[in-house]
Structure 1
Amino acid sequence: MGPKSARVHAVVSGATYTSLTAVFQAKYQYLCPKPTDLDLTIKIPEGMMVPPHPSYPSGHTATAWTAAYILSYFFPNEKTHIDETAEKVALSREQMGIHFKSDNDAAKKLAKAVTNDIIQSLKDDNAPTNYTEVKNTGSSHGA
């Protein structure tokens, strides 16, 4: 898998970095408070902390959807599972009281815009995209 897996990792990492750059630019442009800033009765789960930056858009959701869009490009047969995982990340942030639904909606839209450009550039780079599903054998050591 060497070069192919390295390429996927590099593309996901680069796309995530790009999305987070856009997320934090927007956070400090809009300066939206978090739900916990507006409702002091919200109790977040024990051991969790409210991040010390503005709410809108959600960074966790943006990175989850960025990874989902890129991974779905490389592994289209896994798209349903990948999308479900990204949706669970977004929902977890809402359920904890750290983000509003609008934070997650904006983050998903931002991730889509970022990844559309990246995926378009991948189509033009002449590298192989015929990645195959790797079956889980139950062991990470191949034994």
Structure 2
Amino acid sequence: MDNNYLRWSEVAYAGESTPPTNPVTPSAGGWSLAYLKRDKDGDFIGPNGLKLRLPITHPDHIDFDKELKIVQRTLRNLTPIQKKIGTFYGTGVPTKQWTPVIDRLIDSYGVSPVHAARIIATVQAAVNDTMIVVWDLKYKWDAARPNQYDHKMKTILCTPRFPTYPSGHASMSGCSEIILSYFFPKEEYKLQKFSEEDAVSRLYAGVHFPIDNNEGLKLGRYIGNVIVNHLKSQRNKDGKPIDTPYREYRDTNFFAENFKQFIPYDFPDDCSSLVEKQDNAVPRTSHKNHKLSKPRLYTKNFSK
């Protein structure tokens, strides 16, 4: 199917009269990479020198009208928990909710100072590369946001000022999940749950189509696995692997209680697109005990 989708740079947001004129970091797709590289044609290259075959559907082959109906139906039927999920993971930049996860894993497993530095550096460098790939695709494809298709749409959060596809939250979450599962393999299931919840939160917030999140998770996990394979090949001066993943299970508690931010954050109040008025009477239900209302977005194979 070939679909002539709307362009982000050509359509106004709901509640606005002109297309966006203030794109956020439009040149970031060309920034410096840590693990990945670019060839002379601009294609991304893995640490092994091979061209990456990014597992992501071109937007020409996406039915955005069908995707829009899912967003509209989701916003009409949001549960209190889904509103909390949308707000929690959408508070601050995409890395904000993952930073405490890394710290708690390091503390829980008694990681040494140098190993902790390596884990932090590895995750953040991998996320850096993932976000650069995402920004390259976002501005190359220029796909419009849900509220550019529906000019009456009121979102839970303010719609970001950059193209929709793929989702940055989903992509960096998929990558973080894979990298952290490499170092802490027994925490894999919970890390997967965290990344999938982060991804679907963007649908609940109304700022992304489900395909943005599904394909973003898949893309981030792919990049994460490319980098993990590189980490496995690294050796110290004695020829031994640098990393020794923590094989015991300490059941680290890295989910926030009642969706309370570990790091306080105040949302700016200058949103110019239509936003739903927040209900302050939302019940405070425990994060740990709720079940996701959406099936797993993408299943990966990860060999420990």
TM-score class, shorter: 0.7 to 0.9
- Residues 97-112 of structure 1: matches in 2 within 5 Å? 97-112=206-221
Q: Deviations over 1:28-64 (max 9, x none)?
A: 111110111111222122xx32111000000011111
Counterparts of 2:152 and 2:186 in 1: how far apart (Å)?
43
Task: Give unmatched runs, 5+ long, in structure 1.
Answer: 138-143
Counterparts of 1:136 and 1:120 in 2: how far apart (Å)?
25
Residues 5/56 of structure 1: CA separation in 2 closer, same or farther (3 Å cut): same
Q: Hey, what does 1:55 align to over in structure 2?
A: 164
Q: Hey, what does 1:140 align to over in structure 2?
A: none
Residues 112/124 of structure 1: CA separation in 2 closer, same or farther (3 Å cut): same
3-state SS of paired residue (2:143): coil
Query: In the comparison of the two structures, how many residue pairs are matched?
Result: 135
Q: Deviations over 1:84-143 (max 9, x none)?
A: 011111111011111111111221121122112100111111202232555669xxxxxx
- Residues 13-52 of structure 1: matches in 2 within 5 Å? 13-45=124-156, 48-52=157-161
The TM-score with structure 2 as length reference comes to: 0.42
Counterpart of 1:127 (choices 204, 220, 242) is 242
Q: Hey, what does 2:113 align to over in structure 1?
A: 2
Q: Hey, what does 1:79 align to over in structure 2?
A: 188
Counterpart of 2:223 (choices 114, 118, 141) is 114
Counterparts of 1:40 and 1:71 in 2: how far apart (Å)?
40
Identity of aligned residues (%): 32
How large is the Cα RMSD of the aligned pairs?
1.6
Task: Give unmatched runs, 5+ long, in structure 2.
Answer: 1-111, 235-240, 254-304
Counterparts of 1:5 and 1:134 in 2: how far apart (Å)?
17
Write 1 or 2 for the structure with the bigger share of helix. 1
Q: Hey, what does 2:99 align to over in structure 1?
A: none
